[in-house]
A and B are shown apart, each in its own frame.
Chain A
Amino acid sequence: NAGVTQTPKFRILKIGQSMTLQCAQDMNHNYMYWYRQDPGMGLKLIYYSVGAGITDKGEVPNGYNVSRSTTEDFPLRLELAAPSQTSVYFCASSSSGGTGELFFGEGSRLTVL
């Protein structure tokens, strides 16, 4: 059972570089989320999507962009990477948004130097 798959698992970027974190789920979930987790700070919502073609900002969207062209994929784009974006990024999905169980990927650890 694949569930939620994130790639890459680890990445080092230089300041100003750009990259895309990939997220795919095989559970036919409509709701997908991107979180970042910083030590001692808990998880913060970056962007979320309630279905293909529909995305919205979360709590900390600055410096990021997303797209949702299919139900399965929800990539997160980092433009002009900054040291403040050093974090662990988690993608999650749910079948029914607020009432459903949330399934997480294994995370992508990003370091910006």
Chain B
Amino acid sequence: KQEVTQIPAALSVPEGENLVLNCSFTDSAIYNLQWFRQDPGKGLTSLLLIQSSQREQTSGRLNASLDKSSGRSTLYIAASQPGDSATYLCAVTTGANSKLTFGKGITLSVRP
């Protein structure tokens, strides 16, 4: 059974800091990995989608990497801003019916 772990559960950093959010998964036979952002009381918004054949994806100040063999992904946020404060979840797609397994998320707070 696929398990996805995100540690720590919460993180607080000062504005302007570059930071890395980690995600690990137990079954390396994945189709893809997605990073999502969730604001309080809202749904999830997809930030980056990395296919199993890719090593990384970039969007603006965000860069996500994928190392399937080690079961790890990182989300790099450059020059963090208070507006980046949210919960960040990673999810992997595995199995015959392509179901997603989510981590519990990392709640990020960027202090002005």
Once the chains bind, are A45 and B104 in contact (CB under 8 Å)?
no
Count of CB-CB pairs between chains A and B under 8 Å: 56
Does B93 reach chain A (CB closer than 8 Å)?
A: yes
In the assembled complex, A80 has its CB within 8 A of some CB on chain B: no
What are the interface flags for A20-54 relative to B under an 8 Å C-beta threshold, 1 for contact and 0 otherwise?
00000000000101010000111101001010000
B interface bracket (residues with beta carbon within 8 Å of A): 20 to 34
* Segment of B20-28, B37-45, B67-75, B78-86 engaged in the interface with chain A: B37-45
User: Which residue of B31, B41, B89 is within 8 Å of A98 (Cβ)?
Assistant: B31
Question: Given A42-B104, A42-B105, A45-B99, is A99 in contact with B51 using a C-beta cutoff of 8 Å?
Answer: yes
- Return the contact of A101 from the options B49, B98, B102, B105 (Cβ within 8 A): B49
B41 cross-chain contacts in A, Cβ below 8 A? 107
A98 near B104 with CB under 8 A, answer: no
Q: With A98-B93, A102-B46, A107-B42 given, is the CB distance from A42 to B34 under 8 Å?
A: no
A104 interface contact, C-beta 8 A: yes
Q: Which residue of A lies closest to B100 (CB)?
A: A102
- Complex contact A90–B99 (CB within 8 A): no
Query: Bound state CA distance, A41 and B41, in angstroms?
Result: 16
- A residues in contact with B12, CB < 8 Å: none
Query: From DSSP, what is the main secondary structure of chain B's interface residues?
Result: strand
What is the bound-complex CA distance between A104 and B89, given in angstroms?
A: 13
Known: A98-B31, A98-B32, A98-B93. A58 touches B99 (CB 8 A): yes
CA distance A85 to B67 in the complex (A): 37
Docked Cα-Cα span, A102 to B43, in Å, equals 11
CB of A75 within 8 Å of the partner chain:
no
11 of the cross-chain contacts (CB-CB < 8 Å) are A41-B104, A42-B89, A48-B99, A50-B97, A56-B97, A98-B31, A99-B31, A99-B32, A99-B93, A99-B98, A100-B49
Which 10 pairs show the lowest CB-CB distances between chains A and B? A98-B98, A104-B43, A98-B31, A42-B104, A97-B98, A43-B102, A104-B44, A98-B93, A106-B43, A42-B102
B residues apposed to A, CB below 8 Å? 31-32, 34, 36, 41-46, 49, 51, 89, 91, 93, 97-100, 102-105
